[in-house]
């Protein structure tokens, strides 16, 4: 005669370790044996545990990272404008850009004059034409660099960079071009706008105020 479960007539508890019975995972047993286990601290990403991105890890490893050139979000430590470029740095970067763009054009023009029989009546020749094409191409290229990275060649040498005041991102080519046109305002009132950064709180020209841009100091690259 059997009582209760015919497979367990003596009412004994099923032994631990038999298949089909839930049991608590012993300590130290790795998860591949089927026991549930709490995610260990500092587990690498391949185990599937959520993990905070360590400092200094580049973005290709999948950790969210602040875009290049952007300021810290409002309320975060370090939020606000970074150190601003002073007037001398801005002038130096501008003059260097002018030299890069216009210097070769005039140098090629002097070659035409030197090869002419009468430099006083000489007309622009082939070399000066090549220089004009170079100047236009270089001006567009420098504008592209400024819109994409915030730095022309001159700005990069001087360690300054142009960004949007609101979030610190680069302007983009279109907005950088509009800012160049807005420099007309800086020249309109006896070039007062070009001198405005000398006493302005944000070191801005009239064009900067209109386009809501700032020029900041960065590490030289």
The answer to whether 206 and 158 have CB atoms below 8 angstroms apart is: no
Q: What is residue 87's predicted lDDT score, i.e. its pLDDT?
A: 95
Determine the average pLDDT of the residues in 91-112: 92
Q: What is residue 25's predicted lDDT score, i.e. its pLDDT?
A: 54
Please determine, for residue 99, whether its predicted confidence score (pLDDT) is greater than 50.
Answer: yes
For residue 11, CA distances in Å to 20, 21, 164, 190 come to: 18, 16, 78, 104
Residue 15 within a domain: no
When the pLDDT of each residue in the chain is averaged and rounded to a whole number, the result is 76
The answer to whether 203 and 214 have CB atoms below 8 angstroms apart is: yes
Determine the average pLDDT of the residues in 136-143: 97
Determine the average pLDDT of the residues in 77-86: 74
Q: What is residue 115's predicted lDDT score, i.e. its pLDDT?
A: 76
Please determine, for residue 84, whether its predicted confidence score (pLDDT) is greater than 80.
Answer: yes
Who wins on pLDDT, 61 or 161?
Answer: 161
Residue 13 within a domain: no
Name the DSSP letter for residue 13. P
Please determine, for residue 91, whether its predicted confidence score (pLDDT) is greater than 50.
Answer: yes
Q: Which residue shows structure tokens 């819109």?
A: 147
Please determine, for residue 148, whether its predicted confidence score (pLDDT) is greater than 70.
Answer: yes
Residue 103 within a domain: yes
Residue 173 within a domain: yes
Cα–chain center distance at 168: 9
Please determine, for residue 140, whether its predicted confidence score (pLDDT) is greater than 90.
Answer: yes
Residue 151 within a domain: yes
Q: What is residue 141's predicted lDDT score, i.e. its pLDDT?
A: 97
Determine the average pLDDT of the residues in 1-11: 51
Residue 8 within a domain: no
Residue 122 within a domain: yes
Label residue 41 by pLDDT band (50, 70, 90). low
Label residue 213 by pLDDT band (50, 70, 90). very high
Residue 156 within a domain: yes
| Domain containing residue 160 | 87-217
Instruction: Count the domains in the chain.
Output: 1
Please determine, for residue 7, whether its predicted confidence score (pLDDT) is greater than 60.
Answer: no
Q: What is residue 72's predicted lDDT score, i.e. its pLDDT?
A: 54
Determine the average pLDDT of the residues in 31-36: 50
What span, in angstroms and rounded, lies between the C-alpha atoms of 198 and 152? 22
Please determine, for residue 64, whether its predicted confidence score (pLDDT) is greater than 80.
Answer: no
Kindly report which listed range (7-16, 85-94, 111-120) carries the lowest average pLDDT score: 7-16
């Amino acid at each position: 005669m059997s009582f209760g479960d015919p497979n367990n007539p003596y009412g004994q508890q099923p032994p631990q370790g038999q298949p089909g019975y839930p049991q608590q995972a012993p300590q130290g047993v790795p998860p591949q044996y089927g026991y549930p286990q709490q995610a260990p601290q500092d587990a690498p990403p391949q185990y599937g545990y959520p993990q905070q991105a360590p400092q200094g890890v580049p973005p290709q490893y999948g950790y969210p990272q602040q875009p290049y050139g952007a300021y810290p979000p409002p309320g975060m430590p370090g939020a606000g404008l970074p150190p601003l470029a002073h007037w001398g740095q801005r002038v130096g970067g501008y003059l260097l850009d002018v030299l890069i763009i216009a210097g070769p054009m005039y140098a090629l023009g002097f070659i035409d004059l030197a090869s002419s029989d009468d430099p006083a009546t000489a007309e622009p020749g082939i070399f000066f034409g090549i220089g004009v094409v170079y100047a236009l191409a270089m001006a567009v290229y420098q504008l592209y660099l400024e819109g994409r990275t915030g730095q022309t060649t001159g700005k990069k040498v001087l360690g300054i960079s142009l960004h949007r005041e609101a979030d610190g991102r680069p302007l983009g080519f279109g907005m950088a071009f509009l800012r160049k046109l807005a420099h007309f305002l800086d020249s309109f009132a006896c070039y007062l706008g070009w001198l405005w950064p000398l006493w302005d709180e944000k070191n801005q020209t009239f064009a900067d105020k209109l386009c809501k841009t700032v020029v900041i100091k960065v590490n030289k690259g």
